[in-house]
Amino acid sequence: KQEVTQIPAALSVPEGENLVLNCSFTDSAIYNLQWFRQDPGKGLTSLLLIQSSQREQTSGRLNASLDKSSGRSTLYIAASQPGDSATYLCAVPQGGSEKLVFGKGTKLTVNP
Amino acid sequence: NAGVMQNPRHLVRRRGQEARLRCSPMKGHSHVYWYRQLPEEGLKFMVYLQKENIIDESGMPKERFSAEFPKEGPSILRIQQVVRGDSAAYFCASSSGQAAYGYTFGSGTRLTVV
């Protein structure tokens, strides 16, 4: 059974800082991994999708890496801004199925 | 491209009433997934549907919950005789069925049972 863990559960940083969010998963037989952002009371916004054959993906100030063999992914946010404050969720497929297993998220607060 | 549309955004029901949540997938997507987010918990898979077919309902409670995705119209998640423990955010996602392209989520329906 796939389990996803995200650490830390919460993170508070001053504006401008570079930061790393961590995600680990127990079953390395995944075909992709997706990072989402969730604002309070809102839906999920897809940030980055990494295929199993890739090691990283970049979008603007965001960079996500994937190490399948060790069951880990990191989301790197450069030069953080107050607008980055949100909960960041990591999700991987359960086995070979299409249902996603989510971590509980990292709640990020960027202070001006 | 309107994305995944869910309605209503907020729904209040009294205990014992029925709740109907609707989801229209993104244009071109024929696969729909429902997830539930309980307070202070992560998102949990409920059901996966294609048009007129339930593919995987392993995450659905055995009683009171049902889902459909008819040939025409939106997918419906139906909760009969709601209880306070059903209060949660219900999210719908859609995909083209090709895992390489990932999933797109709607804004969710927040159900409150009073």
- With an 8 Å Cβ cutoff, are A36 and B105 in contact? yes
Sorted by sequence, the CB contacts under 8 Å of residue B31 that are 6+ apart come out as A98, B25, B48, B49, B50, B94, B95, B96, B97
Q: What is the pLDDT of residues A49-103, one digit of tens each?
A: 999 899 999 999 999 999 999 999 999 999 999 999 999 999 998 887 888 999 9
Q: What is the pLDDT of residues B13-27, one digit of tens each?
A: 999 999 999 999 999
Contacts A–B by Cβ distance under 8 A: 66
CA distance, residue B87 to nearest chain A CA (Å) = 14
Q: Chain B partners of A89 at a C-beta cutoff of 8 Å?
A: 42-43
- With an 8 Å Cβ cutoff, are A34 and B105 in contact? no
Buried residues in B68-82 as b, exposed as e (16+ CB within 10 A): bbeeeebbbbebeeb
Q: What is the pLDDT of residues A93-104, one digit of tens each?
A: 888 788 899 999
Kindly state the percentage of chain A with pLDDT values over 90.
84
Q: Chain B partners of A25 at a C-beta cutoff of 8 Å?
A: none
Beta bridge partners of A62: A59, A77
From CA B98, how far away is CA B30, in angstroms rounded?
Answer: 10
Q: Choose from B6, B33, B34, B103 for mutation: most chain A CBs within 10 A.
A: B103
Q: What is the pLDDT of residues B54-108, one digit of tens each?
A: 999 999 999 999 999 999 999 999 999 999 999 999 999 999 877 667 889 999 9
Instruction: Work out the burial of residue A40: count CB atoms within 10 Å of its CB; fewer than 13 is exposed, 13-18 middle, 19 or more buried.
Output: exposed
Interface of A with B in 45-104 (CB under 8 A): 45-46, 49, 51, 89, 91, 93-94, 97-104
C-alpha of A18 from chain center: 15
Question: How confident is the model at residue B99, as a pLDDT?
Answer: 63
CA distance, residue A61 to nearest chain B CA (Å) = 21
Sorted by sequence, the CB contacts under 8 Å of residue B110 that are 6+ apart come out as A41, B9, B10, B11, B88, B89, B90
Measured between CB atoms, does A1 come within 8 Å of chain B?
Answer: no
- With an 8 Å Cβ cutoff, are A31 and B104 in contact? no
Q: What is the pLDDT of residues B28-57, one digit of tens each?
A: 899 999 999 998 788 999 999 999 999 999
Other beta carbons less than 10 A from residue B23's beta carbon: 26
Using alpha carbons only, how large is chain A's radius of gyration in Å? 13
